[in-house]
Chain A
Amino acid sequence: MLKVRFFSLIREALDCEELNLEFTTETVTIDDVKRRLSAQGGVDWQDVLMQPNVVHALNHRVVDSSQALSDGDEIAFFPPMTGG
């Protein structure tokens, strides 16, 4: 199982804080997860997740969307950070 979390503007736009996704041979990378969620959620999810400035984290580290996944991983999608 993969745990998928959403923060800030993305959480609000999708109206979803987190969800679990079955880990399959079709979810090998974060790009695959984006494609699968877009297919499940429809155009609204696709519009949000495919924005070019979406940041991806894997197990609390920012990574490229081509990053390979393992069962049990936690993935997060969020906009560029604005702390400080």
Chain B
Amino acid sequence: MSVLVQEQAFEVREQYEQVLSNSPGAALVAFTGYVRDICDYGVVEALELEHYPGMTEKVLDDIGMAAAQRFSLLGWRIVHRFGVLQEGEPIVWVGVAAAHRGEAFAGCQFIMDTLKTRAPFWKKEHLKEGGAIWVASKEQDEQREREWRDSTL
């Protein structure tokens, strides 16, 4: 049941073990998001992530607690980086533990779908050929978040 927002890189394995050792659940689902190498405008050299300190932690904590209540999670952890990240580095890690796989899969997806449009992070892609572009929000992400709000799952 924890949130970690940090500039430095993190080890995926350590995050996984953290959830595993603190949660007695029989099912653990984890998601890792990495910096992609190609974007709509070319080859990505680095990704810059800006956030709103104070609000970010609060929103992520709210999302984790909402997921825990809705899907009866026994444990959860959200790790998100900010600052400048290189291609291939992990950006975000979400891990949840539950008694059964259905709740674990749904809880992890709910957290990811919700944080994409609700946590105050903004991505800027720096291109290999020069220049940088702020990533625009995607209607598809908004739609996924709306679906969770309308869903009774």
Chain A interfacial positions (CB closer than 8 Å to B)? 5, 7-9, 53, 57, 60-62, 76, 78-84
Contact = CB atoms under 8 A, between A and B. Distances in A.
Contacts, number: 70
Contacts of B92: 83-84
Interface in B121-153: 121-124, 134-137, 142
Contact of A84 (B50, B58, B91, B142): B91
Given A78-B122, A80-B117, A84-B115, A8 B134 contact: yes
Contacts of B33: 84
Give chain B's interface secondary structure class: mixed
Contacts of A83: 49, 51, 80, 92, 115-116, 119-123
Contact of B122 (A53, A57, A61, A82): A82
A79 B55 contact: no
Contacts of B122: 7-9, 78-79, 81-83
Nearest to B57: A60
Contacts of A5: 52
Nearest to A12: B134
Nearest to B58: A60
Contact of A78 (B58, B91, B120): B120
A39 B12 CA distance: 49
A84 to B, nearest CB: 4
Given A8-B124, A84-B116, 12 more contacts: A5-B52, A60-B58, A62-B118, A81-B117, A81-B118, A82-B121, A82-B134, A82-B136, A83-B80, A83-B115, A83-B116, A84-B92
A82 B52 contact: no
Q: What are the 6 tightest A-B residue pairs by CB atom distance, in nearest-first order?
A: A83-B121, A80-B137, A8-B122, A60-B55, A84-B116, A82-B135
